[in-house]
């Protein structure tokens, strides 16, 4: 398989040289949400977003900050538009029709790094990046309202050609994305909610369970030396710190109103 210039293969699951983010646009007030829990405040979201980008940069990574896209209210959640692996990137096809146009807006940024190792998911397949967890040993994909078996079959073929194993699992009923309920801590260790872990999908991994009542803390990211998590979940922060991880907390109140969390805000590679 081809390696892109400057990429490392030491541990593709949490060592990253780069991230891509996109600035929130005023149209975020029209973003998708399962339930209306209030209007997202753009200024607060911009401050939180800046803190998130600063945390990524603080690890030494290069962060490509794309401009806001007023025409796509959910475009700040860049993770859903692509899967980035050391061998190549795959443009997703979001299951939410209002989000499908975000992919063409992301393609040039990825092409700049991946050149001709850029692949894509085609209709009638659908996948959103929030349903994919790349661990040290496999690509785990959760079926959801946004990700269908046809999309997963296409992805399995692509990543299989790159030497990865793909395993398909279920996302609990009523949970937006598979990763809404989990995050990778290192190649072998996953932070997960009890309701997701109960399905057995992480059997064989080391699992840290999010304390009850703090389910919204599960969607953390491991980015180089840091675990970046939503602020305000004291018991989860303590659990991670005690397990030896360096934790950075970012206010997530505004993204949470749109069912978004830490992983959604970046593509990492």
Question: Applying CB under 6 A, which residues contact ligand CIR?
Answer: 31-33, 74, 77, 79-80, 96, 99, 129-130, 177, 180, 258-261, 263-264
The residue sitting closest to ligand CIR, measured at its beta carbon, is 130
Cβ closest to ligand CIR, residue 146 vs residue 164: 146
* Spatial strand order in the sheet of 166-170: 132-134, 139-143, 166-170
Residue 264 annotated as catalytic: yes
Classify burial at 116, counting beta carbons within 10 Å of its beta carbon; exposed 0-12, middle 13-18, buried 19 or more: exposed
Helix or strand or coil: residue 147?
coil
Retrieve residue 131's tokens.
Answer: 């349903």
Cβ closest to ligand CIR, residue 4 vs residue 30: 30
Cβ closest to ligand CIR, residue 51 vs residue 96: 96
Distance, in Å, from the CA atom of 256 to the CA atom of 265, rounded to the nearest integer, reads 12
C-beta of 177: minimal distance to ligand CIR in Å? Answer: 4
C-beta of 219: minimal distance to ligand CIR in Å? Answer: 7
Q: State which H helix or E strand residue 168 sits in.
A: strand 166-170
C-beta of 208: minimal distance to ligand CIR in Å? Answer: 20
The answer to whether residues 189 and 206 touch, using CB atoms and an 8 Å cutoff, is yes
Cβ closest to ligand CIR, residue 119 vs residue 146: 146
Q: Which of 164, 177, 201, 255 is catalytic?
A: 177
Distance, in Å, from the CA atom of 91 to the CA atom of 142, rounded to the nearest integer, reads 17
Q: Which of 84, 182, 255, 264 is catalytic?
A: 264
The answer to whether residues 83 and 129 touch, using CB atoms and an 8 Å cutoff, is yes
User: Minimal CA–CA distance to 191: which of 230, 227, 218?
Assistant: 218
Cβ closest to ligand CIR, residue 119 vs residue 257: 257
The answer to whether residues 55 and 62 touch, using CB atoms and an 8 Å cutoff, is no
Sign for the CA dihedral angle at 107, 108, 113, 118 comes to: positive
C-beta of 52: minimal distance to ligand CIR in Å? Answer: 14
C-beta of 267: minimal distance to ligand CIR in Å? Answer: 11
Catalytic residue positions?
A: 177, 264
């Amino acid at each position: 398989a081809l390696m892109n210039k400057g990429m490392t293969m030491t541990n593709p699951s949490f060592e990253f040289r780069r991230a891509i983010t996109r600035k929130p646009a005023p149209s975020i007030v029209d973003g998708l949400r399962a339930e209306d829990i209030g209007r997202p405040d753009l200024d607060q979201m911009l401050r939180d977003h800046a803190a998130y980008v600063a945390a990524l940069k603080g690890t030494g990574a290069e962060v490509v900050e794309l401009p806001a896209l007023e025409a796509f209210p959910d475009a700040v959640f860049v993770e859903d538009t692509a899967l980035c692996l050391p061998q190549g990137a795959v443009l997703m096809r979001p299951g939410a029709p209002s989000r499908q146009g975000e992919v063409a807006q992301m393609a040039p940024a990825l092409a700049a790094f991946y050149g001709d190792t850029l692949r894509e998911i085609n209709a009638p397949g659908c996948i959103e990046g929030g349903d994919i967890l790349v661990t040290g040993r496999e690509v785990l994909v959760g079926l959801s309202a946004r990700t269908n078996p046809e999309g997963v079959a296409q992805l399995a073929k692509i990543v299989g050609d790159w030497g990865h194993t793909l395993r398909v699992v279920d996302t609990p009923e009523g949970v937006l994305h598979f990763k809404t309920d989990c995050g990778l801590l290192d190649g072998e260790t996953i932070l997960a909610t009890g309701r997701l872990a109960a399905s057995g999908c992480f059997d064989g991994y080391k699992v840290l369970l999010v304390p009850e009542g703090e389910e919204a803390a599960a969607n953390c990211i491991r980015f180089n030396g840091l675990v970046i998590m939503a602020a305000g979940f004291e018991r989860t922060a303590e659990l991670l710190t005690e397990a030896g991880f360096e934790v950075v907390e970012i206010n997530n109140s505004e993204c949470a109103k749109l069912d978004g969390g830490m992983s959604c805000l970046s593509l990492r590679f």
